[in-house]
Amino acid sequence: MISQSRFFTNVLGAPQPNTRYSWGGVNQATRQVFLKVWERDIRDNGGQPKIRVWQAGITHTSHGHPERRRHLSLIETGHSGWGVLCLGSAGREKESAKVDSFDTDRVLALSTLTIDNNEYFLNIDGSAEVGQIATGPDADHVIDRNDSAAVGLVSRHVPETTTRTAVVETRIGQGIFRAAVLRQWGGACCVTEVTTPDALRAGHIKPWAESSHAERLDPANGLPLVATLDALFNRGLITFKRNGDLRISKRLEAPERDRLGLAGLKLRCPVSDAAQSYLNHHRTQRFQG
């Protein structure tokens, strides 16, 4: 069986900073975050599977904890999240658990961070074959497909639906969806006109996890925003009125609004009827008025 270190570096193209304590790695070229996650941490959330990825409010001794917080922050601000599903020694806490095996065949597609009693969860939006998303130098030939101890762990928890197609087409480095959304707005933020690619996020208006397959790929369901505005929009702390003016949640107090420079912001130009429909969903279903 391939080692974890080699799998992250040579297959996923996301080297672990430290092979002893790291819980994941980042592929900077494709803006993908790969997290080492545990099968026992999968939960059912009313038909939407989710997985525990971190716990706050306790004393952490492993250097993997601050790294995990950084990785979660990257996912929240636009990187695509993927989970490498691991089986660990029974009866041990995550911090000290030994990985007995991990799935080299499929990875979980992760999105939408939620917090419940200091436990951090990411939604599981399906899975993808490693060969479809991996960009490391050995991606095409290093995986042992006959390793029965690891292959197939994902399939026990995630149904085979159109999710895999949507993940590959819309989430790798924002892909086709990102390009289409940016094209609609002249390659610039729809509010600030910033054009620096690394500062822009092409996020969904109606969240990816709540959208149909067609909606996930519809460029009208996207807005190019600078990272700060994108993060606020995703968490429902800002939205846009029908006339394009920014609406700010009462949860953001006046001093914080000033620090974020939100006063007077609005969409640079009117949006299509289709985009208005998505924005109406955001205003009524996501915005924390």
Residue 1 pLDDT greater than 50, yes or no: yes
Mean pLDDT (the chain) is 81
Q: Is the pTM of this model over 0.85?
A: no
Q: Which span out of 159-163, 213-217, 246-250 was modeled with the highest average pLDDT? A: 246-250
| Angle subtended by helix axes 163-170 and 175-184, to nearest 10 | 50
CA-wise closest residue to 230 among 203, 263, 266, 252: 203
Instruction: Give the C-alpha separation, 38 to 21, whole Å.
Output: 15
Looking at residue 233, its pLDDT comes to 95
* Between 3 and 191, the higher pLDDT residue: 191
User: Mean pLDDT across the stretch 231-236?
Assistant: 93
Residue 109 pLDDT greater than 80, yes or no: yes
Residue 120 pLDDT greater than 70, yes or no: yes
* Between 174 and 15, the higher pLDDT residue: 15
Looking at residue 286, its pLDDT comes to 93
Instruction: Give the C-alpha separation, 38 to 83, whole Å.
Output: 9
